[in-house]
């Protein structure tokens, strides 16, 4: 009887692992899918706030989540090497611009560790970058490069006339910061991963 129960338990475990493996492989990122399955709270706890902030700025929440994944791996307390803070790694300068634009009195940069504040400031900044590059046929890589490296560097990679259309491939080729190029590619890949599976 004990042998039978052991074999049954082994079969159930094997079936669960096989099922999880199948789902993970279909998703396009097996490792992420396994981590997400093991610790759903870490990967999904801010989804409601992400949706709300994304809707406010007319952004796809899957894009916002992809950026958060790359910036902080969902760590609200992350402090970047240049002083960026929170989920979306918002800089003090960007946060102050957001607070001024939105008439938020007594804003303190420490508030960026609050997920809701961070998402509001970060999505505002991302929307502004996307709007800046609307003349491009595919503004996303330009906006992500600006989010990561700043508007002046993104402008330098485009050239004198930012209204002249440039393909994504050509723009990425012009980025002479390998870390920024990789950053843009990773967020776009994660965004496509979420879109492919149909959920954040």
Cα 85 from Cα 118, distance rounded (Å): 8
Residue 38: predicted pLDDT: 87
pLDDT in tens, 157-198: 999 887 789 999 999 999 999 999 999 999 999 999 999 999
**What is the secondary structure of 39-54 as a DSSP string?**
-HHHHHTTHHHHHHHH
pLDDT in tens, 117-160: 999 999 999 999 999 999 999 999 999 999 999 999 999 999 98
Structure tokens at 66: 């992809």
What rounded mean pLDDT belongs to the chain?
89
Cβ count near 10 (within 10 Å): 10
CA distance linking residue 158 with residue 166, whole number of Å: 8
| CA 79 to each of CA 37, 49, 65, 71: distance values in angstroms, whole numbers, following the listed order | 26, 20, 18, 10
What are the tokens at 198? 């149909």
Euclidean distance between CA atoms 85 and 48, whole angstroms: 20
Q: Report the phi/psi class of residue 89: left, alpha or beta, with left for phi > 0 and alpha for psi in -120 to 50.
A: left
- For residue 19, the model assigns a pLDDT of 45
Contact (Cβ atoms closer than 8 angstroms) between residue 78 and residue 72: yes
Summarize pLDDT for 58-114 with one digit per residue, the tens.
999 999 999 999 999 999 999 999 999 999 999 999 999 999 999 999 999 999 999
Question: Of 88, 57, 83, 84, whose CA–CA distance to 71 is shortest?
Answer: 88
More confident residue, 150 or 14: 150
Contact in structure between 68 and 50 (CB atoms under 8 Å): yes
Residue 24's pLDDT is 41
Q: Classify residue 164 by its DSSP letter.
A: S
| Whether 74 contacts 87, CB under 8 Å | yes
Residue range 21-67, pLDDT digits in tens: 444 444 456 888 887 888 877 889 999 999 999 999 999 999 999 99
pLDDT at 161: 83
Looking up tokens 């012009």, which residue turns up? 174
Q: Which pLDDT score is estimated for 6? A: 54
Q: Is 143 exposed, middle or buried (0-12, 13-18, 19+ CB in 10 A)?
A: buried
| pLDDT confidence of residue 23 | 44
């Amino acid at each position: 009887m004990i042998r039978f129960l052991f074999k049954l338990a082994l079969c159930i475990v094997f079936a669960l692992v096989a099922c999880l493996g199948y789902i993970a492989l279909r998703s396009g990122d097996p490792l992420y899918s396994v981590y997400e399955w093991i610790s759903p709270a870490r990967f999904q706890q801010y989804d409601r706030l992400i949706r709300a902030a994304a809707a406010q700025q007319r952004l796809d929440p899957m894009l916002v989540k992809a950026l958060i994944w790359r910036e902080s791996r969902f760590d609200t307390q992350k402090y970047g090497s240049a002083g960026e803070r929170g989920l979306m790694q918002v800089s003090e300068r960007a946060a102050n611009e957001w607070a001024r634009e939105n008439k938020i009195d007594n804003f303190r940069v420490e508030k960026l560790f609050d997920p809701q504040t961070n998402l509001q400031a970060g999505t505002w900044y991302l929307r502004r970058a996307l709007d800046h590059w609307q003349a491009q046929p595919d503004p996303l890589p330009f906006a992500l490069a600006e989010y990561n490296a700043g508007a002046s560097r993104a402008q330098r990679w485009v050239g004198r006339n930012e209204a002249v259309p440039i393909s994504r491939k050509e723009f990425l080729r012009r980025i002479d910061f390998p870390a920024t190029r990789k950053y843009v590619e990773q967020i776009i890949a994660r965004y496509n991963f979420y879109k492919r599976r149909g959920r954040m």
